[in-house]
Amino acid sequence: MRKTNSTTEPKAVSSNKPRAQSWFKSVSDIVVIVLVVMAAKTAIAEPFYVPSGSMEPTLLIGDELLATKYPYGYNAASLPAFITLPDSKRLMGALPQRGDVVVFRWPGDRSQVWVKRVIGLPGDRVALRDGRVIINGEPVGIAPDGNGAAEREDGSAIAAARFIETLPSGRKHTIFKLTDDNPLDNMAETVVPPDNLFVMGDNRDNSADSRVPLRMGGVGMLPVANLVGRVDAIVGSWDLGMKSQPVWTWPQGLRLSRFFSAVH
């Protein structure tokens, strides 16, 4: 009778296939998420940060606004802000209304995104006399609204007179005037060309807008093709003046009353 003590050990089989599949799925999930976010930012809305006081008192330095894109249609300007492409034909395009606050690609550098208020539409005759806007020969309504303080980029503030401006459509908004004799207070009548807009900042003495030629750092006439979207809401706001304070006090700079507030 023969006896054997030999045993056969099973061989361990190692495979990298499940690990590779898991890695590929993770990467795929991330790609899908990025594409969904980009699609939403392109088709629905995109947040933007306000770095200057040109739209005070409507928009404050440190506001984070939400620009909805579908009201004016889509073209290359509708892509997320970090993507810069030449002009393209606008699909499902529609003109803004007078009084709309719009985000647009600055004609001088399409990588820069600016925000102003639409005052004149194609074919409108726009002029300024002593700071008062005149559209198609009719001065817009203007009424005093007390005093305010315009914030500067360094966190300081300057006294400003408040006025309620009423456009021909009946839409009202508040503007700031810092002085009575600003060089931009008077402008000869000009006709807004086809496919262009006349835009202004609500802080009338601190805004490089359609009153200022593009060659001088302003907007000039704004091509409709440069529109990104309409500003409908502020989603958050933080007082940049808090930057000079200790870090632990920074939460006090949150302007909670402006969170999720409408823009008019």
Q: Known catalytic residue: 54?
A: yes
Mean pLDDT per 10-residue interval, the chain, length 264 residues: 46 54 54 48 79 96 94 89 80 93 96 97 98 97 96 86 96 96 95 98 97 97 96 93 85 92 93
Which pLDDT value is given to residue 21? 58
Active-site residue flag, 244: no
Question: Quick one: pLDDT at residue 34?
Answer: 47
The residues, ordered by sequence, that sit 6+ positions from 211 with a Cβ below 8 Å of its Cβ are 128, 184, 187, 200, 218
Q: What three-state secondary structure class fits 72? A: helix
The domain 26-262 is classified under which CATH number: 3.40.190.10, 3.20.20.70, 2.10.109.10, 3.40.50.170?
2.10.109.10
Q: Tell me the CA end-to-end span of the chain in Å, nearest whole number.
A: 102
Identify the active-site residue in 41, 69, 116, 177. 116
What is the spatial order of strands in the sheet that 132-135 belongs to?
A: 138-139, 132-135, 125-129, 187-191
Contacts of 36 (CB under 8 A, 6+ apart): none
Alpha carbon distance 15, 158 (integer Å):
70
| Residue 41: partners with Cβ closer than 8 Å, 6 or more residues away | 80
Q: What is the pLDDT of residue 108?
A: 95
Q: Write down the pLDDT at residue 28.
A: 54
Please confirm whether the linkage preceding 86 is cis (ω < 30° from 0). Answer: no
What is the distance, to the nearest Å, from the Cα of residue 124 to the centroid of all Cα atoms in its chain? 24
> Which residue in 52, 54, 207, 210 is the catalytic one?
54
The two structure tokens encoding residue 79: 């892509």
pLDDT the model gives residue 208: 96
pLDDT at 82: 78
Specify whether the CB–CB gap between 102 and 231 falls below 8 A.
yes
